[in-house]
Amino acid sequence: MGPSTDDYQEFMTSLTEEDLLLVRLARDLYCDDWDAMVEDLRDRQQGRAYVFEVPADRLGDHLRRIERLQQFEMRFSIKISSLLKGE
C-alpha cells in the first residue's frame, strides 16, 4: 500500500516558510535537482562562485532542511514542488 494524500498533506503542512523557499529555489534555479543545490551551497561555504546569496551562518540549517526534504521525496517517490498548490 502506497502513501496516501493524507501523508503528503501532513508533510506539506509541517513545512516552514524557509522549507518552502528552498523547494521553490530548487525548482526554479536547479530544475528540482537537490544535489545541484547542495553543491552550490557547499561552493558558497568554500568561498567559490555560487548562484544565490545565503548568510554564512544559515548554510548548515539549509543543508539539514534539504536533507529532510530529499528524504521525503525518496521515501514517497515524488517531487515536493509538484505538491505546491497554485504554483
CA distance readout (Å), 44 to 12, 14, 39, 52, 65: 28, 28, 9, 9, 17
What would the grid cell of residue 60 be?
Answer: 548548515
Q: What is the mean pLDDT of residues 30-52?
A: 90
Predicted local confidence at residue 1, as pLDDT: 55
Longest dimension (CA), the chain: 46
Predicted local confidence at residue 3, as pLDDT: 65
- The pTM is what? 0.86
Predicted local confidence at residue 4, as pLDDT: 65
pLDDT band of 2, cuts 50, 70, 90: low
Question: How far is residue 14's CA from residue 23's CA, in Å, rounded to a whole number?
Answer: 13
Q: Which backbone phi and psi does 2 adopt, to 5 degrees?
A: -85, 180
Instruction: Say which amino acid occupies 49.
Output: A
What would the grid cell of residue 49 be?
Answer: 562562485
Averaged pLDDT score across all residues of the chain:
89
